[in-house]
Amino acid sequence: MILRVFLIAIGTVVMAFGGWTLYETIPQSTFANLGIWIVAGVLIHDILLAGLVAAGGWAIGRLIPARFRAYVQSGFIVAGVLVIMAIPVLIAGGRQPDNPSLLPLDYPRNLAIVLGLIAIGTVLTAVVRERMSRSSVKGDKDPAQ
């Protein structure tokens, strides 16, 4: 209990310091934009991302056989993290017409290629592991006999 109170106190101090630093370093005219950004982030997460994850979990549970679920879930987790990490380059927030060396590649195409490779790797892993488990079940004989 003492550790919990201590950690809450430290967290409160760190958050207060962050709030104070934010207040002191950011122009007050941008507070409204900051508030919109924070609220939009929460709403996008809670409505869009959480909804997609819940629907995907439901679909995987209904459509994918139990022995393959872990592989499909792992593939979706890796793909989801990749897409989240790729969002900044996909929306090209840093692209400037006078400097084509910033974001010079075809990022949507590259993302599609890597997502395809993740899908292929997921399927291959599931097939190989399934065959290995079947061959070990068929070949399991007690060596003592």
3-state SS string for 16-41: HHHHHHHHHHCCHHHHHHHHHHHHHH
**DSSP-based three-state secondary structure for 96:** strand
Is residue 54 domain-resident? no
How many domains does the chain divide into? 1
Q: Do you know the residue count of the chain? A: 145
Is residue 123 domain-resident? yes
Is residue 17 domain-resident? no
pLDDT for 138: 66
- Structure tokens given for 33: 């934009």
pLDDT for 98: 81
DSSP state, residue 30 = G
Is residue 86 domain-resident? yes
Is residue 89 domain-resident? yes
Q: Which residues contact 73 (CB under 8 A, 6 or more apart)?
A: 57, 60
Q: Is the pTM of this model over 0.85?
A: no
Between CA 142 and CA 121 the distance in angstroms is: 34
Mean confidence (pLDDT) of the chain: 88
Between CA 11 and CA 9 the distance in angstroms is: 5
Q: By residue range, what is the domain housing residue 92?
A: 65-138
What confidence tens digit (pLDDT) does each residue in 77-135 have?
Answer: 999 999 989 988 888 776 777 887 777 888 999 999 999 999 999 999 999 998 998 88
Is residue 114 domain-resident? yes
Is residue 13 domain-resident? no
Q: What's the average model confidence in pLDDT over 13-21? A: 95
pLDDT for 15: 96
Q: Is the pLDDT of residue 68 over 70?
A: yes
Is residue 81 domain-resident? yes
